Amino acid sequence: MRITQVLTHCALLGTLLVAPWVQSQAQEDIKIGFIVKKPEQAWFINEQRAASEMGNKLGFEVVRLGGEDGQAVLSAIDNLYAQNAQGFVICPPDVRLGPAIMHRARQYDMKVITVDDQFVTADGQPIEDVPHLGMSGTKIGQQVGEAIVVEMKTRGWDPKEVAALRISNNELPTAVERTDGATQSLLAAGFPEDHIFDAPQQNTDTSSAFSAASPVLAQHSDYKHWVIYALNEESVLGGVRATEQYGLDAQDVIGVGINGSGAAFAEFSREKPTGFFGTVAVSSTMHGRQTAENLYYWITEGKVPKANTETAGTLMTRDNWQAVRKALGL
């Protein structure tokens, strides 16, 4: 009888000692990927870093990968499968790749969450059965337009003397939503529609926007003032740099971007103000943290994330950027 009691006590003691180790080991076995289309851009650097920080907090591993085209994305998914990852968060290089990406993910039994840009079908409709976290492109764009209108009034500009440079990428639905939203706000405030000029860009970075903006400025040299908007702040900066090369003074330019990243911080830190007036800041840190956490609990507890979560933006300018950065955890 005493031997039985001793064995029972040992078994209980063993359970108490081993259980925490087993639980920790199980957490360490969870691995997810975080794939972004532009891993060198500050927005995505912050996003991936925040995901890794959440992994450290909850006890899972985050594999950070780049996927700048379809082949790179599929290779990244193969890489994750080889590492026994159970799922991944992705900002795709082309939203139309959604069906192909999901086909590969289902082959590997991986769970998927999209961030920033949402997958679409062949006919352009959102793939709603893949959880998504991002901005409302139209609403964010409207905020950009509203900020431009307010600043134009503050400077006392006559709309007849103002032209708008819309740096656009019509291949990316998110970009169209944002620039269309800004256009809507301008038109609603009485901005002349025939003063809005498109500058189609080949990519979504500063150099591409600079190349797109330069010929438009040269073609419409009769305008005294310019406002600039695009899908992100890197593109707006490209437009601002083009106005500088063209010889326009900073006080004659109002550029408003979207994101709230290192590109904007560097511009606001310059000794003298430039034509980059502001940016509608959204927390890429929050995007990375929340999607990683959502995917972890989906994998471990079966908690399926909301189909579509939209975040709001805050206008960040040279006057308030440090306070907004702190508030949003950027």
Average pLDDT, the chain: 90
Cβ neighbourhood burial of 323 (10 Å; 0-12, 13-18, 19+):
exposed
Q: Which residues contact 133 (CB under 8 A, 6 or more apart)?
A: 113, 114, 115, 287, 290, 291, 294, 305, 308, 309, 311
> How far is C-alpha 22 from the chain's CA centre?
37
Q: Which pLDDT tens digit goes with each residue over 210-238? A: 999 999 999 999 999 999 999 999 999 99
The gap from C-alpha 279 to its chain's centroid, in whole angstroms, comes to 13
The pLDDT assigned to 330 comes to 77
CA 330 – CA 42 distance, rounded (Å): 10
Answer whether residue 23 shows pLDDT above 70.
no
CB environment 106-139: b (16+ within 10 A), e (fewer): eebebbbbbbbbbbbeeeeebbeebbbbbbbbbb
pLDDT tens readout for residues 271-325: 999 999 999 998 889 999 999 999 999 999 999 999 999 887 999 999 999 999 9
Query: What is the Cα–Cα distance from 36 to 68, expressed in whole angstroms?
Result: 7
Domains in the chain with CATH codes: 31-130+284-310 (3.40.50.2300), 137-281 (3.40.50.2300)
4 pLDDT more than 90:
no
Residue 328 confidence class, pLDDT cut points 50, 70, 90: confident
Provide the CA 222 distance to its chain's centre, in angstroms.
Answer: 36
Residue 162: predicted pLDDT: 98
Examine the pLDDT at 25 and tell me if it is beyond 90: no
Asked if 84 and 299 count as a contact pair (C-beta separation under 8 A), the reply is no
Q: Which two tokens stand for residue 293?
A: 């956490």
At residue 173 the predicted structure's pLDDT band, cuts being 50, 70 and 90, is: confident
Q: What is the pLDDT of residue 13?
A: 41
Whether the pLDDT of residue 47 is over 60: the answer is: yes
3-state secondary structure (DSSP) of residue 185 = helix
Q: What is the pLDDT of residue 28?
A: 53
Count the neighbouring beta carbons within 10 Å of the beta carbon of residue 101.
26
Distance CA 88, CA 65 (A): 10
Confidence of residue 174 (pLDDT cuts 50, 70, 90): confident
pTM of the complete model: 0.70
Residue 38 is predicted with a pLDDT of 92
